[in-house]
Structure 1
């Protein structure tokens, strides 16, 4: 029986996504990649992520896309519904990568420590 592969969501030219994918590949971990710049963000997936980690964890207020938004658009992001609308309209303001792990967990971002913990869960599943 094979373990389902994690699904890594992000943008293919994002350096953090590249590091995360390389880390998994270098260690022989299969994964699916969903480029939400090319394929969009599935609204149901975004809803799932928000339920698991909260909209605040997903919204990247440090990135270029956020900084380029006008002040009114930034000020309008005050709660989950407004953040959801903004993230669907401007997918690049979602922190990357977002990973859906086989056990149902969702993580945002990449560190070697985080992925070591997660891939240990995948190997044990």
Structure 2
């Protein structure tokens, strides 16, 4: 089963849900704020896409970190992992986990291959 990771207040996550619903693609929704994120799932995401792809340096959460924390996350992968686990909204959204691949963000045709 596909799992869509996002946050309820994110417009792009809402659009992703509508796109999946319109295509009739089954998925489970995982709210990063309410449901959190575990270390094993994050490690799998990093293995699939890389930390640089996942870390959302344009997010409100990122801007709320002090410069020391932001620099540490840029320089040290373990520190970045710890920050993401503490603040799951540091992940780019939405994330669609198909079990085999992870689609990060949403472009118009990202879900076309799932039909």
| TM-score, with structure 2 as normaliser | 0.93
1:14 is aligned to: 10
Give the drift of 1:80: 2.3
**Is 1:49 the counterpart of 2:45 in the alignment?**
yes
Give ranges in structure 2 of 5+ residues lacking alignment: none
2:24 is aligned to: 28
Give the drift of 1:51: 0.6
Alpha-carbon displacement from aligned partner over 1:66-91 (angstroms, at most 9, x marks no partner): 11111111011123212111101111
Q: Kindly report the root-mean-square deviation, in angstroms, between the aligned alpha carbons of the 2 structures.
A: 1.1
Give ranges in structure 1 of 5+ residues lacking alignment: 121-125
Tell me which structure has the larger Cα radius of gyration: 1
SS in 2 for 1:95: coil
SS in 1 for 2:35: coil
1:123 is aligned to: none
Q: Give the 4+ runs in structure 1 shifted more than 4 A.
A: none
Choose the corresponding residue for 2:88, options 77, 82, 91. 91
Residues matched between the structures, number: 114
Equivalents in 2 of 1:68, 1:113: separation in Å?
A: 32
